[in-house]
Every structure is written in structure tokens, then in C-alpha cells.
Structure 1
Amino acid sequence: MTHGENQLRLQIAEKSVGSLSVFVLLRWALVVVFLWFGGMKFTMYEANGIAPFIAHSPFMSWLHTVFGVRGASEVIGVLELSTAAALIIGAFKPFFSALGAAMSAMTYLITLTFFLSTPGVAEPTAGGFPAISAAPGQFLLKDLVLLAASLCLLRASVRRPGLKD
């Protein structure tokens, strides 16, 4: 076996199982989410809405210190719009197919950590965790599905030669 046979191969996710597949739906649904959420990050309404998540996050709280509430939201907006762009370009370029999916997966891995750091996720009137509040608990839970979609797209974009679907 040569060195080249062990290397990962990047491909457009939709090409992994034929010219049209479920990955088309996943890609473009993620694009809509990132365009919409990313665009909203440039409004004060959204900046205030995500402020409690950022303030309590061990990974992101520094954004408020460096950029303020509005600036932190805008930094996240730029990252989300960049993720949307990578996902869009990824429909045509293998590298960006993997990059966009990886950026998306990282986004949802980070937001799912908010379960551990954001006050009010557990619902005390229902017995506490695992009962979760409508907001922010159920709001955050949707990110589990978005993470799964991102990981499916990433898996379809990065293949080892010789592996079967």
C-alpha cells in the first residue's frame, strides 16, 4: 500500500451517492439557517437575544469583553455568513463541501455546550433535568438535529479511498 492510498479524499457530498441525494436537502437547509441566523446577528434584537448564551459560555464569554454585546453578535454573524458561503461553494467544490460542513458542525457543537453553561435550561417545576424549559432548553435542543445534518454532510464530503457507502 502506498502513502497516497491512505489519504482522505474530498468530494462534493451530493456526489457521494449519486447525482441527486438527500445531501442536497441537508446542504440547502443548512444554507438557509446560516443565512437567516447570520443576517439576524447584525440586529440589536438578536444581539440581546444571544447575549445570555455568550455571557455564560466558557468558550465565548470573551467576545463580550473584547467586542461588546453588539460587536460579539456581529462577529458571530460574520462566521455564520462565512459558513453559509462555504456551504454554497461546497455544492461545486469538494474542499468547500468539507469546510462548510465542518464549520457547521463546530457551530452546533459549541451551541450545544450552552446546555451546560446557560442558566434556566433545566425546568425546576417539572423536576429539573432532564426536563428542559421551552426557552432556552428546547430552543437549544434543535441544534442536535442541525449537528447531525452537519456531520452527515461532512461524512459524505470526506472519504477514505476504498470505503463503501
Structure 2
Amino acid sequence: MNICTNQTRLQIAEKSVGSLSSLALLRWALIIVFLWFGGMKFTSYEANAIAPFIANSPVMSWLHSLFGIQGTSYVIGVLELSTAAALILGAFQPIFSALGAAMSAATYLITFTFFFSTPGVAEVTAGGFPAIGAMPGQFLLKDLVLLAASISLLQASFQGPQSNIQRP
């Protein structure tokens, strides 16, 4: 007799599809990205580089008025390093697998909006959108891939309803 349960359980993403899962590669690649980018947010170079993206963002522009350019970069750096920490812990604990992947997905959902809010994304000399400039257009387009990696980890962190076979 088949009994389906409607419970969703958390699991470590890469354990959802086998011990040699390519999801582990996604996790550790995202960790490197978040450690690197998060650490860079504590430099004035990076703070000034991201300032135009933040200033034009309908989601994040308020941060500059509250924390200033460097302070905003610090806040983002702490969030990115926290995401890296959650992703690291997620290799060992199911709750952190889901949390880290969700934090990563949220990051890339927000930064992907910069694609639409940052001036200069469309390359006017090439006819405008969909032609995009190397900076900032192509730079921002990579976030689509990082978002897909994050969502893949997030989906794999949830174990859907199971079919259990019970015998009398």
C-alpha cells in the first residue's frame, strides 16, 4: 500500500542526488564568490565601484542615505560573508543548506534588478537593448547564472513529499 506524506523536509542539497553530486561544485563556487566579493566590500575601491549600482537601485538606494557609500559597502560585505558562512555550514547541516541557498538566491535576485535600473546597461551605439555594454551590462548578466546556481541548491535542499511503502 502506498502512503504519500505531505511533509517537506530539509536536506543537504548535494546529498539529494548522490554522493558525487555536481551540486557540491555549485556550493563551493558560490562560497568562493561570496568570500571574495564580501571581503572586497571592505575596501574603498569596491565601495566606490558598487556605488552607482546601489544609487540607482529601487531596492537598495536608501542604504546610501542611511550608511553612506563605505558604510553601505560594509553592510553588503557582512551580508555576503554571512551568506558564505551559511553555505559552508550547509555542507554539513540541512537547515543551513536551505538558508545559505536562499540568501544567495535573494542576493542575485536583487543584483539582477540592477540590470534594469542602472544607466548604461544598454549599448546605444549598437542600437540599444538587447545590445548590452561590457560594463555594466555584461558584468550584470552573469548574475543570471549565479541566480540559477543558487535556486538549484535551494530546490535540492528541500525533500518533497515522499512515497512510503508500508506492508501489513
Gaps of 5+ in 2: 164-168
CA distance in 2, matches of 1:159, 1:148: 19
Q: Deviations over 1:13-48 (max 9, x none)?
A: 111011120011000000000000000000000000
Say whether 1:153 aligns with 2:165: no
Whichever residue aligns with residue 51 of structure 1, its letter is: A
Q: CA deviation at 1:161?
A: 2.2
What do you get for the CA RMSD once the two structures are aligned? 1.1
1:121-154 Cα deviation digits (max 9, x unpaired): 0000000000001000000000000000001001
Residue 132 of structure 1 pairs with residue 132 of structure 2: yes
In structure 2, the residue matched to 1:27 is 27
Structure 1 gaps of 5+ residues are: none
Amino acid of the residue matched to residue 12 of structure 1?
I
How many angstroms does 1:5 deviate by?
2.6
Contact 2:54–2:61 (CA<8 Å) still a contact in 1? yes
Given that residues 108 and 147 in structure 2 are in contact (C-alpha distance below 8 angstroms), is that contact kept between their aligned partners in structure 1? yes
Matches within 5 A, 1:1-165: 5-162=5-162
Q: Compute the TM-score of the two structures, normalised by the length of structure 2.
A: 0.93
CA distance in 2 between counterparts of 1:63 and 1:76 reads 10
SS at the partner of 1:113? Answer: helix
Residue 7 of structure 1: how far off its partner (Å): 2.4
In percent, how many aligned pairs have the same letter? Answer: 78
Cα deviation digits, residues 105-131 of structure 1 (max 9, x gap) = 000000010011100000000000000
Question: Which runs of at least 4 in structure 1 moved beyond 6 Å after TM superposition?
Answer: none
Q: In the comparison of the two structures, how many residue pairs are matched?
A: 160
Match in the other structure for 2:166: none
TM-score, structure 1 length as denominator? Answer: 0.95
RCO higher in 1 or 2 (8 Å CA, sep ≥ 6)? 2
Deviations 1:44-63 (A, max 9, x none): 00000000000000110010
